[in-house]
Structure 1
Amino acid sequence: MTAMTHVPDRPGFLPRLSAHHLQRPRLTASLLESSARVRLICAPAGSGKSTLFTECLLQAPVECTVCWLPLAGMSMSVAVFCERLAQALGLAAVDESSLLYELARLSSPVWVFLDDYCRVEEPALDALLDRMLALASPAVTWWIGTRRRPPCNWPRLLLDDALYECESAALALSRGEIAQLLRHLSPAQADDVAGRILQRSGGWCAGVRILLMQKCDWSQKTLPQQRMDTLLDYLQHELFSGLSPELAEAWRVLAHLPRFNASLCDHLFGAGEGAQWMRTLQLLGCFIEPWQGSPDWLQVCTPLSRLMRDEPWSAGRSWHRRACQWFAAGQHWKCAFEQALLAEEYEVAVSLLQHFTFEHLFEEQTVVLLLRLYEQRGEELLLGSAQLVGLVTAALLFAGRFAQAADCIGQLSRFLPPPSAGQQRQLIARWQAQQGWLLHLQGHMGEAREHFEQALNDLSPQAWTARLLCLSGRTQQALLCGDLELAHSINREALCLARAEGSLLFEALLELDHAQLLEQRGASARAEELLANLCDMLDASVERPTPLLGRIALRRGRLALNMGQQDRASGLFQQGLDDCLRSFDKRVLYGFLGQAQLAADQGDYPQAFMRLRDAERLMQQRQIPDTVYRGVLLQVSSEFWLQQGRPELAREALSRVLRHYRGPRARQAPPATLELIPRIECLLILAEIRLGQAQQPMARLQNLLEYAHSSRMIALEAELLWVMSEVAWKLDEPESARGYFDSGRTLASHFNLQRLSMKFDQKALNLWPGSTLSAPLLEEGDNEGSLSLRESQVLGLIASGSSNQQIADTLFISLHTVKTHVRRIHAKLGVERRTHAVARARMLGLCR
């Protein structure tokens, strides 16, 4: 309840705002600007209804009479309500008819705030409220805050444009708003902590306030127990105290379920009665909301559900057992499997896995649940069936537990020989597919390729999931070898098969490989468009495919980082990090790496190295082999050391890690880091040249450049040219340095590699003071005459002699869009012809 204090310039007692209050004009502006005479906020406890109304009240016009009626959610008779309202308005009449008459004849503006309207159903009081709202007095504006939506004639008010309703979801605090409350932290730290608070609280105002009440070690992402006790006490007073014992127990049960509907509630609590209890809890505003926007399923809001699941619950096993029965009968296999695990019915859980396919691994928490079952009943799983062993193996490979995955693969021999030679070939082919992936992830390219190819020769059309996994592995190997044409060919074959089988999840997995291919070719914008469309399709799935969405977010974060969109990259890296942490994906590493690179770009090296240490700690905690993360961590660390002017550290680390990727027993780079080995070699040369110890640096860099150029690895080629310009300068070859510089910067600019372009601009300032090379990177709208990034790219291609159609093909945009850009370029440069535009741009230093 909001505190009360006397305000001298207004009659009665009015609320005040907390010292920790955060102004939210995005909400108050729409409420205050509305012309509707009824303004409604219906939301659960702790959503900030009273505070929002208080903000509006304090901005009421001077000539307006304000009436604040704190009802505290209590039930009351019509007579008591009329008496209290009349007293607040300063009216003598207290009976219903007289009060309605007085309200109808008011001539001066009055704002009536009904704060925390009656929380339980009161038919007589609800009917009175309906009659009062029906009075179309232009002088009276009603502000109603409630947890329960009273049964008034809302449709009529809405049609008459007399109702403005603030949606409950809009009341949630955003990440930016939470960051504003963390004034004691630096902006970067505040944003990071705000993201974690938002994840835990969902933006629920009371939850955010409780999380901020005491100091917490957010770097460890832990919460002190007393804070959880505070939240439980809050729920006891604000929720459970207003419910009957039966409803309170029903709410606790529902909070432990991933989702529920009327039929499940009938099964749990009794036919007819259960569904009614669910509807009652929903009407009372007990934090029940649609599950993932579904019209058929509900859930208790995630932060409270997570809290309740962390609390001891002695009666839990029996409720989970009954829920498992219902989910299994309805063929909701994943939910049934989860409930069986919570009920500690491990034999039932194992039996349910016969209904799982590899596509289930892409759904939220499936991998986590399988790992949990493997830890509890590993031996039983391996004795089940070949399909079951394959499923568990895939989960272990996904999580990076290669040693355990190898043990599982070895168990497939138990199922030999099968009844027929054909079945034996299929079983061996499945073994080869998974053994190939294990070897691929461990860095043994030759052996993995052999297994993939043999499996593809023997797998039957019915084993299309195994075939797709083999094709994905072969695509990644072709990318690692720099054979982009072969990678594209294999990827197209796999995508056609996935679409023919109608598997959106496998299609998304393969499109990730496609996006990586596009990124290598310099088509970052096209890769981003592909992944954005993919996200839209996956978001429509009934079960949220968290593992896939996490990987997509990380890939999009990398694309945004390379295109110089730091804010967007930060959000995507955080989303990918959160999703991968939840699904135990080993790719979580690249979320930490992305955040480290963002911090380093801002010059915050302590924060950058802290994120690298967080990544290493997590990898070790999850027992992921160091071959997955050690090389890329040392490569990124060395990049930071070179930026800090510590080449000796970089040389030592790079020399050590490069030995693992060169020689007769060399390993391939991890699949997610296609350019790892050439980047390590490039950084090592740079470290040696800065230490004055390099041997034939230009020849070694030229070999790397030829490899990057022949493989069409655009970003790597541009970065190598950047390094070659520095090395040539160090070797006192200024003309060569300028040539490499110009070639690299042109390449980076044409392919929208903004982050790399900024490195070129910095080098230009260091080596050639007064350079105008950064001019084309002005963003659109910076000033009227500047060229946008895309316009600069189009102008550069015009200067190179490209036609409009060639420009469209290079930039992956339509011909109409090219013509629009050309028209704008002519207008900004004040010319009419393409040749004049090029000449004018060269004179201004906008292109070379």
Structure 2
Amino acid sequence: MTAMTPCPQPPGFLPRLSPHHQLRSRLSRPLLETTARIRLLCAPPGSGKTALMTECLLQAPAGCTVHWLPLAGAALSVDGFCRRLAQALGMQGADEAALTEELARWRSPAWLMIDDYCRQPDPLLDALLDRLLAAGSPALVWWIGSRRRPSCNWPRLLLDDALYECEAHALALTPKELAPVLRHLPPEQAEAVAQRIVLHTGGWCAGVRMALLQKCDWSQRELPQQRADTLLDYLQRELFSGLTPELAEAWRVLAHFPRFSAGFCDHLFGVGEGTQYLSTLQALGCFIEPWQDSAEWLQVFPALSRLIMDEHWPQGRSWHRRACQWFTAEQDWKSAFEQALLAEEYEVAVSLLQHFTFEHLFEDRTVALLLSLHERQGEALMLGSPQLIGLMTAALLFAGRFGQATAWIEHLGRFLPQPSASLQRQLIARWQAQKGWLLHLQGRMDAAGEHFQEALAALGDDAWPARLLCLSGQTQQALLSADMNRAQAINREALRLARARGSLLFEGLLELDHAQWLEQRGTPDRADGLLADMQQLLSARGERPAPLLGRIALRRGRLALGMGQQSRAAGFFRSGLDDCLRSHDKRVLYGFLGLAQLAANRGDYAQAFVRLRDAERLMQQRQIPDTVYRGALLQVSSHFWLQQGRVELACEALSRVLKHYRGPQALQAPPATLALIARIEYLLMLARLRLGSGPADAVEQLDLWMGQAQARGMAALCTELHLAKAEALWLGGCRGQALETLRTAMAGVEKHQARQVLGELRQRAASLLLAHEAGLADGESGPLPEAGALSQRERQVLELIAQGHSNQQIADALFISLHTVKTHTRRIHAKLGVERRTQAVARAKSMGLWR
């Protein structure tokens, strides 16, 4: 029997799927294929249990009778449940004995689908269900959808292979399942929007549906205000209406805390009562779930917790004050500090900072909390000790607020002189360590290097965190100076010290330097493996170090992008971007740059430039100096302009930005972009060659740079320069040499997995790659194509392209087929050495084809 076969119930009892429902075979297939006679779906309201059961009902096998029993969560007596069950199954007897006897004798294949089993705990009803399940025939399959887990002998059923349970977290929608719903968007944008919706709703089906009903622009980062009202109304009807006032208040209170436990609840609500409240809320399926897979700590479902925290909460200060007291007693200093800030107990918050170390900065939201304290209180409470000043300075440097950090570093002078010469030297050394990092991040390499060296000479063994920071700074300076051997030696020394001190966080920070070294050596796969191992170790910690994991994700995104693994890169860039946004890390810039590059790889330059504008806007909003981001943004923008054929614009921007990195007042490149200056130089040279104003010795200059990179062991940069040389030869009309150079460079591309730079070459000089792939003879050479190289028909097609006509419009205008238009377009691109329409038009104008 199928869902279309008449059933004992009236037709109204048969469920119907929403026209917007997306079939989810990853959930329905295991439920349909399992041989277990009991299939349990236990999840909070709005999780899609009914829809999933309905989806399975519509796929019931032939010959199987389906009985649908909607209970709507109502409280039923034992007798009432027996009557409803007997009616659904078409049985005569309505007491337990008769039901048990008939269920045991059941022979024909059938499904009994109980939707929304009793929501309130009822030991008698659960015991009845347990007895009925135990007595049931294998021919009758039980499907049970419930907000709470009935108190049955599930372990025994599980051991007997009689139970299949679909867990609550599995019901969450995934971006892949949501993207097809956004069919009004281009596929790439739909995927990104689906990621954002799932991120903010946790994949909770009701939340996703409400978000889609708002028809908001999820491509932006702002949340729609209207959605909050809808969700609050939903919670009032589906959650709070079924709770006592005390339980509803307890749930609202707990939703304001990032995590809680039974002991924490006892402190808030009273010994015994708190534990009982928590246990009851869990039993009722009130969106209480484990916090970071912890066996002790719990949380309210984050999407709903954020919603509740946005509400006005007049009595919040007293609850946060109590929470601060509890975390302080537990010596959980970071949580106590956060609660003190929320309670507006600023003096208490400052007093708790005495327990903080530099490593606390890499715990989730610590930097954001310190910046919040700084914005509210300024310097009023934070100048009590060098330790407090150093902590705030480090937070400001991490966030990129160099101007404020400069003022805070100078406050250390308040504590001079020290009682002894030894203490005096240590304080000055700490000042030099932080001053060195400030200068290093500002691009002033020589002065920073002196401070690092002098600090290391004076810092004692107990100041090992400051020593590690100085060593990391020296490693990055060696990398920026292309001194690969020195960088490796310093990094090894630093890693030994971090491991000897048992500091996994510092080890992770230093492994980022190590990964940059491996990337420049041309082994991105080794760098990615190294960071993957570190990411796994850090994720296993009790407190997730989101800022450090964000940096690791961004670096892994860059590595994956370089190796041509675009889908992996997109995932890393998005997760790293979100972590860095939460922790106010200035390196959030590289998440935007990575996503922009992925958009450009797809040819979506509009989206690419939107990402760059988003990055610039955020940097300015967060008061980050333009020395941190301007060079990288202009270099990437110029790269896109070259690919689009906007050569003059790229040449002007590259010339302007290069002046900051050359001359007597030159700055070093930002630490995260080791090859920035080299890329600016060779891109500028290629741009000038395209304009006909490039240096006559361009190829010789590229050979010189390649030799230097090779001598220093910078295999990745050497490969880039090798490809640039092939492009320069091609632009100069030396076709045979260009193809020979490209063939040699391809060996480096394969060896060092430099697929991204090869793709960038294809976007700038498609004809070179086409000629290479066509296998042209080595000796074939000649000048760049002139206007006469295009046939008359090709000129006509190009003129219509310049006027903005589509391929179909061109076919109609010239009375040729669409296929012929595409063939002409490909030949035009190959002859002009371009890949896109806009590039072809710009190239034709520069050749004088028309004005």
**Same fold by TM-score greater than 0.5:** yes
**Could you tell me how far apart the structure 1 residues matched to 2:392 and 2:263 are?**
32
- Which letter maps to 2:266? D
Q: CA deviation at 1:55?
A: 0.5
Partner residue in 2 for 1:683: 683
- Which letter maps to 2:178? I
Change (3 A) 1:685 1:554: same
Give runs of aligned pairs for residues 562-641 of structure 1, distance below 5 A: 562-641=562-641
Partner residue in 2 for 1:736: 737
**Could you tell me how far apart the structure 1 residues matched to 2:6 and 2:503 are?**
67
**Could you tell me how far apart the structure 2 residues matched to 1:457 and 1:703 are?**
38
Query: Are the aligned partners of 2:67 and 2:111 in contact in 1 as well (CA < 8 Å)?
Result: yes
1:191-228 per-residue CA deviation (whole Å, 9 max, x = no partner) reads 11111111111111111111111122334322222210
Give runs of aligned pairs for residues 232-631 of structure 1, distance below 5 A: 232-631=232-631
Partner residue in 1 for 2:795: none
Q: CA deviation at 1:703?
A: 2.9
State the TM-score, normalized to the length of structure 2: 0.89
Query: Are the aligned partners of 2:66 and 2:111 in contact in 1 as well (CA < 8 Å)?
Result: yes
Q: CA deviation at 1:764?
A: 9.0
Give runs of aligned pairs for residues 646-665 of structure 1, distance below 5 A: 646-665=646-665
Change (3 A) 1:292 1:145: same
Query: Are the aligned partners of 2:412 and 2:431 in contact in 1 as well (CA < 8 Å)?
Result: yes
Partner residue in 2 for 1:767: 768
**Could you tell me how far apart the structure 1 residues matched to 2:678 and 2:197 are?**
40
Partner residue in 2 for 1:187: 187
| Residue 700 in structure 1 maps to residue 697 in structure 2 | no
Query: Are the aligned partners of 1:47 and 1:172 in contact in 2 as well (CA < 8 Å)?
Result: yes
Q: CA deviation at 1:237?
A: 0.8
**Could you tell me how far apart the structure 1 residues matched to 2:372 and 2:267 are?**
27
Q: CA deviation at 1:104?
A: 1.7
Change (3 A) 1:381 1:686: farther
Query: Are the aligned partners of 2:550 and 2:578 in contact in 1 as well (CA < 8 Å)?
Result: yes
Partner residue in 2 for 1:796: none
Query: Are the aligned partners of 2:266 and 2:274 in contact in 1 as well (CA < 8 Å)?
Result: yes
Query: Are the aligned partners of 1:216 and 1:222 in contact in 2 as well (CA < 8 Å)?
Result: no
**What secondary structure sits across from 2:632 in the alignment?**
helix
**Could you tell me how far apart the structure 1 residues matched to 2:750 and 2:317 are?**
61
Query: Are the aligned partners of 1:554 and 1:577 in contact in 2 as well (CA < 8 Å)?
Result: yes
Query: Are the aligned partners of 2:47 and 2:205 in contact in 1 as well (CA < 8 Å)?
Result: yes
Change (3 A) 1:643 1:21: same
**Could you tell me how far apart the structure 1 residues matched to 2:251 and 2:473 are?**
47
Partner residue in 2 for 1:803: none
Partner residue in 1 for 2:801: none
Change (3 A) 1:380 1:489: same
**What secondary structure sits across from 1:69 in the alignment?**
strand
Partner residue in 1 for 2:846: none
**Could you tell me how far apart the structure 2 residues matched to 1:82 and 1:562 are?**
65
Partner residue in 1 for 2:722: 721
Change (3 A) 1:25 1:664: same
Structure 2, unmatched stretches of 5+, are 776-851
Query: Are the aligned partners of 2:3 and 2:60 in contact in 1 as well (CA < 8 Å)?
Result: no
| Residue 10 in structure 1 maps to residue 11 in structure 2 | no
1:762-818 per-residue CA deviation (whole Å, 9 max, x = no partner) reads 7897237564589xxxxxxxxxxxxxxxxxxxxxxxxxxxxxxxxxxxxxxxxxxxx
1:583-625 per-residue CA deviation (whole Å, 9 max, x = no partner) reads 1111000001001111111111111111111111111111110
**Could you tell me how far apart the structure 1 residues matched to 2:730 and 2:224 are?**
56
**What secondary structure sits across from 2:116 in the alignment?**
strand
**Could you tell me how far apart the structure 2 residues matched to 1:490 and 1:189 are?**
43
Query: Are the aligned partners of 1:10 and 1:66 in contact in 2 as well (CA < 8 Å)?
Result: yes
Partner residue in 1 for 2:110: 110
Partner residue in 1 for 2:827: none
Q: CA deviation at 1:47?
A: 0.8
Q: CA deviation at 1:760?
A: 6.0
**Could you tell me how far apart the structure 1 residues matched to 2:774 and 2:714 are?**
24
1:625-661 per-residue CA deviation (whole Å, 9 max, x = no partner) reads 0000000000000000000111100000001101110
Partner residue in 2 for 1:823: none
**Could you tell me how far apart the structure 2 residues matched to 1:302 and 1:224 are?**
17
Give runs of aligned pairs for residues 785-804 of structure 1, distance below 5 A: none
1:444-489 per-residue CA deviation (whole Å, 9 max, x = no partner) reads 0000000000000000100000000000000000000000100000
Q: CA deviation at 1:7?
A: 5.2
Query: Are the aligned partners of 1:382 and 1:411 in contact in 2 as well (CA < 8 Å)?
Result: no
Query: Are the aligned partners of 1:581 and 1:588 in contact in 2 as well (CA < 8 Å)?
Result: yes
Q: Stretches of 4+ moved more than 3 A in 1? A: 5-11, 757-765, 767-774
Query: Are the aligned partners of 1:528 and 1:559 in contact in 2 as well (CA < 8 Å)?
Result: yes
1:98-120 per-residue CA deviation (whole Å, 9 max, x = no partner) reads 12222222211121111111111
Q: CA deviation at 1:698?
A: 2.2
Q: CA deviation at 1:138?
A: 1.4
Partner residue in 2 for 1:748: 749
**Could you tell me how far apart the structure 2 residues matched to 1:518 and 1:178 are?**
38
Change (3 A) 1:474 1:755: same
- Which letter maps to 2:174? S
**What secondary structure sits across from 2:144 in the alignment?**
strand
Alpha-carbon RMSD across the aligned residues, in angstroms, is: 1.7
Q: CA deviation at 1:182?
A: 1.0
1:390-448 per-residue CA deviation (whole Å, 9 max, x = no partner) reads 00111110011111111110111111112111111111100000000000000000000
**Could you tell me how far apart the structure 2 residues matched to 1:8 and 1:738 are?**
70
**Could you tell me how far apart the structure 2 residues matched to 1:186 and 1:253 are?**
42
Give runs of aligned pairs for residues 788-827 of structure 1, distance below 5 A: none
Identity of aligned residues (%): 66
Give runs of aligned pairs for residues 60-209 of structure 1, distance below 5 A: 60-209=60-209
- Which letter maps to 1:665? Q
**Could you tell me how far apart the structure 1 residues matched to 2:369 and 2:395 are?**
10
- Which letter maps to 1:624? I
**Could you tell me how far apart the structure 2 residues matched to 1:321 and 1:17 are?**
48
Partner residue in 1 for 2:824: none
1:487-534 per-residue CA deviation (whole Å, 9 max, x = no partner) reads 000000000000000000000000000000000000111001100000
**Could you tell me how far apart the structure 1 residues matched to 2:629 and 2:589 are?**
7
Query: Are the aligned partners of 2:3 and 2:57 in contact in 1 as well (CA < 8 Å)?
Result: no
Structure 1 stretch displaced more, 375-384 or 491-500 = 375-384
| Residue 33 in structure 1 maps to residue 30 in structure 2 | no
Q: CA deviation at 1:370?
A: 0.5
Structure 1 stretch displaced more, 195-204 or 503-512 = 195-204
1:128-177 per-residue CA deviation (whole Å, 9 max, x = no partner) reads 10111001411211001111111101111111110001111111111111
Change (3 A) 1:769 1:260: closer
Q: CA deviation at 1:761?
A: 6.7
Query: Are the aligned partners of 1:556 and 1:572 in contact in 2 as well (CA < 8 Å)?
Result: yes
- Which letter maps to 1:714? A
Change (3 A) 1:768 1:25: closer
The size of the alignment, in residue pairs, is 771
Structure 1 stretch displaced more, 22-31 or 177-186 = 177-186
**Could you tell me how far apart the structure 1 residues matched to 2:584 and 2:656 are?**
29
Q: CA deviation at 1:97?
A: 1.3
Query: Are the aligned partners of 2:689 and 2:728 in contact in 1 as well (CA < 8 Å)?
Result: yes
1:254-290 per-residue CA deviation (whole Å, 9 max, x = no partner) reads 1111111111111111111111111111111111111
Query: Are the aligned partners of 1:289 and 1:298 in contact in 2 as well (CA < 8 Å)?
Result: yes
**Could you tell me how far apart the structure 1 residues matched to 2:167 and 2:774 are?**
50
Change (3 A) 1:680 1:6: closer
Change (3 A) 1:762 1:435: closer
Change (3 A) 1:662 1:117: same
Change (3 A) 1:257 1:271: same
1:297-341 per-residue CA deviation (whole Å, 9 max, x = no partner) reads 111111111111111111111000000000000001111011101
Structure 1 stretch displaced more, 494-503 or 85-94 = 85-94
